[in-house]
Structure 1
Amino acid sequence: MDDSVSSFCIGHHDPRRVLPVTPQAVHNAHVANYDMVTSPITTPHFHSRVMTLLSSALTDGSPSAALDIAQQRNGSPVVIPPLTPADSSLTPHASVNQIVGLISPWIDLASPDPIIADLSRQVLKLELNYAAFCGLTCVLIPGPQLAGSTGNAAGLAQYARAVLDGLGQAPFIQFHIWLPMVDLPGSDRQDMGDLRLFARTAFLPHETQAALQPDLFGSWEAWDIIRSICKYSSRLFVALDLPQLLPPLPVQSRWYSEPVRILTLEACIFVANPKGYPALSKAHQSLISRFIRLRTPPWFLLSNCGPIPPAPNGSNLNDINSPSSFPTPAESFRSPTIKDATPHLSYLRNLQSRQPPLAPIERFGAGYQDFLQAPLQPLAVNLESITYEVFERDPVKYDQYEKAIARALHDWVEQGKPTSNPDGRVVVAVVGAGRGPLVTRALKAGQDVGVDIDMWALEKNPNAFVLLQTHNQTIWNQTVSLVHSDMRTWKGPVREASETPIRQIYNKEPDEADDSLQPPTTSYAPTNEAESIGSSQPVFYKIDILISELLGSFADNELSPECLDGIQHLMNPIHGISIPASYTAFISPIATPKLYADINNSMVQTMPNAAEIPYVVLLNAIDLVSTISPGHAGSPTSESPKQRNNPAADQSPVILPTWTFHHPNNTLPPATSRSSNMHNTRFSSTTFPVPNRATIHGLAGYFESVLYPGVELSTNPLTMAAKSEDMISWFPIYFPLKQAVVAPDESEVEVCMWRRTDGRKVWYEWVVDVYLRTKGRRTRVGGGELHSSEKEGCLM
């Protein structure tokens, strides 16, 4: 599989371009190595026509201009006539799919003046209709005026309503709302001819002190309001304008979770390198490297970076319809032999070639980023070979298992424990053996530490059992005892009573200088009545080391506790070892607009309870909204070199444990009282600090497992690098919310979670509440809806 990241798709934008581009201009852009160009939809003539209508409405003394505020908010005194040929020179042509249409930047859809707002909506409608007619598939819409824009809630609602109408009238166009990364006072450019300059004073809100202060999350909050009113439309995206000085990492992470499809790079954010060529700062490079790894990476739009150079003589305009006219990657990276006419573009092409290769999890999960999958039900369904094969591609997990088995065998010998097999071999059983990878690792571990093992492999899947028999003949040399059975009904390892019963005990003095095993001392005592009287009936014996890989994305969601409860009575009651020995589930609230939209806009149409089902997801475009400052009490202290080199690691996300299961379970109730499975129910209540306002769409679930003391597995982002770096076997689990929950600045999110059972299946329930502390009191401000996956519970 290719280790490289996606190719950069780079466009050219010139704010001074006032006329729609021609096919020749698109051709010139492609020859220059651009992938697309922006184009106005209408001409300055149309702008002048609208300004004339507005001026007449405001100054001619007509009744419509003199209406009071209450009446005018519901009036439409100005009507823009349909477009004429003078209003747009854009025409349908073969290269129109390489054009990003620009909705006129002089409109103000969020204007508090009803005439301005209504005129802006009419312009938007006319331009969208004509863009759709010409075949454009993508438009850029200027975002609302910010600088405390969330105080103008009515204006934002008007803006969003206009966009929602546009989505309905142009069903084949993708909408990109053009927003700055942060809300900074004075950052909105007001050009001559902007409609907002003509808003009447009577309608303008009083400027507050808050509007004069920078608001790092103000731009995001405006976007959150817009997309919420637009019902998380799958055709609504963000075009994000990168500033010269990037905001703090929490702001960057929030935008990373949003559907950003265009990143705008102004010439002013580039700096000159030692040779005088434009380059980006390390911070900007890091941000681009992160975004380009998204499942759908954004396009890059170079703005104010010079004109498109004319195509060289002999370039054929008709070639633009041929694939050969587009530059190959090699041509994109080729160094110019003459003065570079597009140095900013050349820099981005070079930056693409210098992107680090994909990490193992990125290569393994290619195509599965932010893709919802139902968890496996291995007890109810016999898995296909390809499913086993996918799991077996993870060398890290099996290396950890082999290390745990080797340590357990070494300690068994070191501590002189008696074995359960009378012939002295340590009894090792892999339950749920699948296609046998753990069997192979266990045999290898025994050879490495020099301990003879009595190897058993149990599998209920009849198809996988056929392959196990083949492996026993071709790989394991008939050294493995195979059993086709459910582990909960298995009676345990068995031998014929006529076999000579010799129990071998390894004794090793602690002061021995070498690692060789001492000659075993042998002893024998009858293990049951049948054996003592020489009966020929089969004799069952216990398991010394029980190995399983029943863990799910949330540790216990594939019923590992229930399975291991059913076989625990077969374990050596004194010295028996379970690998894994324990596992703990972790959760954290997240913002994940894509998954929320996928469930609530699509899946609920055919599955009404889709928002109450946990999903296995390779989470990528998310924001862990609960964070603490570095050095804060309770912040993670375990840090790998990769974390130290990763700027995002400084955010210190809060990921908290819910519950833990231990094996063997020393408090397991008698078999007669286990039918209800109530001993495996759990409840947890966890509280997460949320320092910055956020919209929470669900919970991310992870796990940590102790295979054997000193050997662990982890999918927890805080500990994975230290415990099982580059492990790919498990994606996180996602617990969705039916309705997104808004958390204000400096709030707390309390999550109550249950693991429930009725003796036939196991399911989860969860509630998310948001609280604010004001005047010493904790006030609930959102959430509270109970979610239950009982209808889709995991069958026992």
Structure 2
Amino acid sequence: MSSAQNGGNTNTCSVSLHVPTSSVHFGPDIVEDEIPAQFKAPPPSQPRRPHPGGLDTLQEASHVNALSQATGPSPASLQAVMENISLSQKQGTNQKVEALLTAALASLSPSNRSRAITKAKGYDSITVQLANERWRERWSRLCLAPSETVASTSASSVGGNASKAFAAGDPGGMGGSWEVLAQASGAGGLNVPMEGALNGATKAGKMVRSSSRKHIIETAPAGTTLSSSVTPTLGRIDEGSERVRESNTSPINETQKEAEAWRKSPSFNPSELNLTKYEDSDGVIAIISPWIELDSWDEGIRLDSEIALRQELSYASHLGILQVVLPPPSSDPACRPYLVDYARAIAGCLVSRGSEAPAAGHFMRLSIRLPISSPYASAQMMLKTGVGARPLSISSNSSNGTAQMRSEDDWSWQAWHVIQSVCAFNARLGVAIDLSAPLPSPAILERWNAEPVSHIWLPARAFLSNAKGYPVLSKATQSFLRSIISVKAPQLAFILTGTQTPPENHTRGGQAAYEQYIRHTERNITSNMTETDLQVRSYSDYLQAPLQPLFDNLEGQTYATFEADSIKYEKYEEAVYQALSSLPPKNIISVWVCGAGRGPLVSRCIQAARKASRTIKVVALEKNPNAIVGLRERATNEWGQDVVRVEMGDMRTVKISPSEKADIIVSELLGSFGDNELSPECLDGAMRILKPNGICIPRAYSSYITPISTPKLCAVTYLAGRGGKEEMPEVQHCWTFDHSTPPAVPLSYDGLPLTNAHNVRLSSHTFHIPRQSVCHGLAGSFEAHLWGNVVLSIHPDPSRATQGMNSWFPLYFPFKEPLYLAAESELDVSIWRLTSNDRVWYEWMAQSFAISNKPSRATSLSVLENESVRSSSVSSQPQQQKNNGRVRFEGVNSDAFQNAPNTPRLSDTTLPGEPSTSQNAAIAERSLIGMTALMNPGGRSSSVYM
């Protein structure tokens, strides 16, 4: 169901239907099998009035009925509803209903009509391309070299006769299957030739050139060849300047004048747009023209594409459209050097140019439609395996190559990292992940959980078919969607495309089956979430400042949030029960609850005493004067003043007599990093209250740290992996605070440590980084040993963490600037817990190292000796060898660089302290490739006050 049908539930993901341009005027296509035969309308007797943009609706694609000859057709499903009404109601009423429906739809604009019909089918919005084919034709006429200077693409290529080279170029396969597109247009680039052949034929077309850059040096990406016949006016530097001067004198034609006028003041013609009014934009996700190529190897095409992009975004902003999907960069390696041009163009649309507003407005969110893996790599794999040379099999339990193939490339994330970095991690830039391409490995997919994924582009061809013919997603895709929905909902939106003409093996369910499947998947995810998951879902997308309960008086809402975590208090009750059971029975056991808050620990201690059959006297100690009011009321009305005595004061300074000392101290001052709420300092003072051999709960707690990637803090990706020369763990221990005995430090007359130096800590770590990534900071966690076998943990390893507990989230140690980490590299992290007379703070930094294998000393000397022998046998005639454009001489001249006859040599033996290696062994060498500044020096940005 849509969110509207779900009672206005805003906690679900929205689902949008991609409406083809051919249907935007009359509403989304309706599949034939949804309409009973008796209700199918006959074809219209007269031709329809054309769309203002000149796009006639295709008869075989729309399957619609004419509302009237003046307004165009209406969906056949509405006709079916009307016919059903006529079977059960009087004809007069039926005619009135039909007239009302006809008049209502006829009064709507084309896009509003499409949206109304789409919402009636369960969708939340529609996704429509902003401009149409006429706009593409005008741009190519103005901005591309004339057709007589560009050879046609070979008609033998897969995909039919692509006589218009530019028309074949569709960088990301917008609206088409990636398999066919990749084979026809170079797997994601503008006619970039692929390696190998397809159906025995190679791609013979020439590279499309810009019409505005006639005098640039004739160059081409690696692996491509340009004929001089492609652009006759192009001249090379080494041929002199005559040709350049000749081309400068060529007459300026009318097309060139028109092109320059457009570049100076770009604008649309009304017939070039699918959306023309502000009222048309409500509930619409706009698609920028897919042929715009911001990373073309031709600089003129790049620059003119940027002008076209800004023009479309500016117009979308004028219409009030808030969500826009951009075409992806090319996955062809030949276009990789121009990815920064693509990113720069997008960055320029998000910021102001002096007094000029951003092309994307101030509120528009841009999403780059990025294939989940490289279409180019997938096409090459198909060629090598022979899949591209034969039809893909279609059976009852399989769909197409997309669902059956797997990819191991990491192109998508690498491209996104470049774009996001150039755009300075702009909060209005997101990703629309396109699942048309094969899925990569789970380890590569996992990192998308931490990225700003705003949309999932899901074509019908990405679905398999089950035994009954209904469309379903593969297990791998389901797993990926579960992880994405869990951390991104409800901001995540799905865009379904191609459902109007589904694959032939999807024989059941019709067009509605795809939308219903997505809704069903999300419901299953929500139904499997625990009550704790649902509670934290609403505020897990926010960075929260750590509490300072020692310095601040907490509010009632904060206490209420703590008390909602029943798991934590169950663990504390069990720990108190075990502690009471370990003490010998006697008349009264003294229990001090230090930092009682509103009293949840007091209640748990009383319950534990009943369970352990012990008599206790509880002292509820609290420094917050506001919380004291509630504690005293509960002591009078609920616990009994003979059981609970309420005291106001600080556990570090409260005055006590020896007879009042406690057998057990209970405290819940633990923070997300264990000690970040000053539990060590507080419990140092509370040790004055404890009897010799008394019990402190918690007994001890340890802090852990691991590097993470988190561009937006709603989710994180853990970057480290077990590995390296010492099998380094992914999450590493920093330090431990133990309160089983008082600190062995000099004490003042009132029993407090003279200084806080004993609570200073420092720790160094080395993490193995298996995959290329970007580190935004460190995640801190803790494990606490309460008593006996009772443990509280928020360790990232699910097998060690306390399940169902929501009192603590990981502590975030951010880097001021993201740190790039290469694959198979190492990350050194240093972290300090420092203190002064009145404050405690952390400082941290990191260094990234590339690991390479360096030959050992014995191996190096052996190589040098072999080189010396080889050099002595060289002919006395000088020889030249070219090496990367430089000339290197060998022969008699090289003798000048030989050592003198009796020059001492280094020994082959291992130096003291150096690991012994065999002659062929290698030593891992670390090279520094990046580092952060020292974060939070002196606690100037963040500190906790005592």
Aligned to 1:411: 582
1:563–1:72 CA distance, 2 compared to 1 (3 A): farther
TM-score by length of 2: 0.64
Of the three residues 614, 618, 624, the one matched with 1:461 is 624
1:220–1:395 CA distance, 2 compared to 1 (3 A): same
Cα distance in 1 for partners of 2:295, 2:554 equals 55
Match runs of 1:126-275 below 5 Å:
126-148=311-333, 152-153=336-337, 155-167=338-350, 168-171=358-361, 172-187=363-378, 216-243=409-436, 245-275=438-468
Of the three residues 698, 712, 718, the one matched with 1:624 is 718
Match runs of 1:24-35 below 5 Å:
24-35=113-124
Aligned to 1:394: 565
Aligned to 2:651: 487
Asked whether the 8 Å contact 2:463–2:474 carries over to 1, the reply is: yes
- Tell me if 1:662 matches 2:738: yes
Cα distance in 2 for partners of 1:72, 1:89 equals 41
Q: What is the Cα deviation at residue 57 of structure 1?
A: 5.9
Cα distance in 1 for partners of 2:480, 2:212 equals 54
Cα distance in 2 for partners of 1:296, 1:701 equals 27
Aligned to 1:570: 689
SS in 1 for 2:12: coil
The residue type paired with residue 393 of structure 1 is A
SS in 2 for 1:292: helix
Cα distance in 2 for partners of 1:275, 1:16 equals 32
1:86–1:399 CA distance, 2 compared to 1 (3 A): same
Cα distance in 2 for partners of 1:731, 1:63 equals 56
SS in 1 for 2:214: helix
Of the three residues 781, 785, 793, the one matched with 1:706 is 785
Asked whether the 8 Å contact 1:749–1:771 carries over to 2, the reply is: yes
Cα distance in 1 for partners of 2:847, 2:288 equals 40
Q: What is the Cα deviation at residue 541 of structure 1?
A: 4.2
1:243–1:64 CA distance, 2 compared to 1 (3 A): closer
Aligned to 1:350: 520
Deviates more, 1:672-681 or 1:727-736: 672-681
Cα distance in 2 for partners of 1:182, 1:60 equals 35
Cα distance in 1 for partners of 2:599, 2:558 equals 13
Match runs of 1:664-743 below 5 Å:
664-672=740-748, 674-719=753-798, 722=800, 724-743=802-821
SS in 1 for 2:537: coil
Deviates more, 1:395-404 or 1:366-375: 366-375
Asked whether the 8 Å contact 1:548–1:579 carries over to 2, the reply is: yes
Aligned to 1:23: 112
Q: What is the Cα deviation at residue 295 of structure 1?
A: 5.0
Cα distance in 2 for partners of 1:748, 1:544 equals 48
Asked whether the 8 Å contact 1:685–1:752 carries over to 2, the reply is: yes
Post-superposition Cα deviations, 1:624-676, rounded to whole Å, max 9, x if no partner, equal 1112389x9676xxxxxxxxxxxxxxxxxx22111100003454302139333
Aligned to 1:47: 136
Q: What is the Cα deviation at residue 724 of structure 1?
A: 2.4
Aligned to 1:119: 304
SS in 2 for 1:48: helix
Asked whether the 8 Å contact 1:26–1:95 carries over to 2, the reply is: no
Q: What is the Cα deviation at residue 343 of structure 1?
A: 2.3
SS in 2 for 1:22: helix
Q: What is the Cα deviation at residue 734 of structure 1?
A: 0.8
Cα distance in 2 for partners of 1:565, 1:461 equals 20
Cα distance in 2 for partners of 1:268, 1:340 equals 14
Cα distance in 1 for partners of 2:745, 2:274 equals 81
The residue type paired with residue 280 of structure 1 is L
Match runs of 1:401-480 below 5 Å:
401-413=572-584, 424-478=587-641, 479-480=643-644
The residue type paired with residue 226 of structure 1 is I
Post-superposition Cα deviations, 1:286-327, rounded to whole Å, max 9, x if no partner, equal 22222222254321111212169xxxxxxxxxxxxxxxxxxx
TM-score by length of 1: 0.76
Of the three residues 828, 833, 850, the one matched with 1:772 is 850
Aligned to 1:502: none
SS in 2 for 1:545: strand
Asked whether the 8 Å contact 2:373–2:438 carries over to 1, the reply is: no
SS in 1 for 2:763: strand
Aligned to 1:302: 496
1:454–1:350 CA distance, 2 compared to 1 (3 A): closer
Aligned to 2:871: none
Cα distance in 2 for partners of 1:540, 1:353 equals 60
Of the three residues 690, 695, 702, the one matched with 1:584 is 702
The residue type paired with residue 533 of structure 2 is E
Cα distance in 2 for partners of 1:160, 1:730 equals 38
Cα distance in 1 for partners of 2:795, 2:925 equals 33
The residue type paired with residue 33 of structure 1 is G
Cα distance in 2 for partners of 1:52, 1:253 equals 44
Post-superposition Cα deviations, 1:721-780, rounded to whole Å, max 9, x if no partner, equal 555210111122111110000001011111100000012110000001111111321111
Asked whether the 8 Å contact 2:21–2:129 carries over to 1, the reply is: no
Q: What is the Cα deviation at residue 248 of structure 1?
A: 1.5
Aligned to 1:65: 214
Cα distance in 2 for partners of 1:241, 1:427 equals 63
Match runs of 1:274-353 below 5 Å:
274-293=467-486, 294-306=488-500, 340-353=510-523
Deviates more, 1:250-259 or 1:362-371: 362-371
Cα distance in 1 for partners of 2:519, 2:490 equals 18
Asked whether the 8 Å contact 1:681–1:756 carries over to 2, the reply is: yes
CA-based RMSD: 3.0
SS in 1 for 2:591: strand
Q: What is the Cα deviation at residue 589 of structure 1?
A: 0.8
Asked whether the 8 Å contact 1:40–1:101 carries over to 2, the reply is: yes
SS in 2 for 1:544: strand
Q: What is the Cα deviation at residue 716 of structure 1?
A: 0.9
- Tell me if 1:384 matches 2:575: no
1:380–1:46 CA distance, 2 compared to 1 (3 A): same
Q: What is the Cα deviation at residue 232 of structure 1?
A: 1.3
Cα distance in 2 for partners of 1:32, 1:765 equals 56
Aligned to 1:784: 932
Aligned to 1:752: 830
The residue type paired with residue 298 of structure 1 is L
Cα distance in 2 for partners of 1:704, 1:169 equals 50
Post-superposition Cα deviations, 1:341-366, rounded to whole Å, max 9, x if no partner, equal 43222322333343334323322213
Q: What is the Cα deviation at residue 389 of structure 1?
A: 1.5
Asked whether the 8 Å contact 1:11–1:35 carries over to 2, the reply is: yes
Q: What is the Cα deviation at residue 469 of structure 1?
A: 1.3
Cα distance in 2 for partners of 1:244, 1:226 equals 20
The residue type paired with residue 296 of structure 2 is S
Deviates more, 1:20-29 or 1:258-267: 20-29
Structure 1 unaligned blocks of 5 or more: 190-212, 309-337, 495-538, 596-619, 636-653
Q: What is the Cα deviation at residue 403 of structure 1?
A: 0.6
Q: What is the Cα deviation at residue 448 of structure 1?
A: 1.1
Post-superposition Cα deviations, 1:4-57, rounded to whole Å, max 9, x if no partner, equal 993231112256649776322222222222222222222212211222224446
Aligned to 1:523: none
Of the three residues 70, 84, 101, the one matched with 2:269 is 84
SS in 2 for 1:372: coil
The residue type paired with residue 387 of structure 1 is T
Sequence identity (%): 35
1:267–1:588 CA distance, 2 compared to 1 (3 A): same
The residue type paired with residue 542 of structure 2 is F
SS in 2 for 1:569: coil
The residue type paired with residue 426 of structure 1 is I
Cα distance in 2 for partners of 1:89, 1:364 equals 43
The residue type paired with residue 494 of structure 2 is F
Deviates more, 1:580-589 or 1:238-247: 238-247
Aligned to 1:557: 676
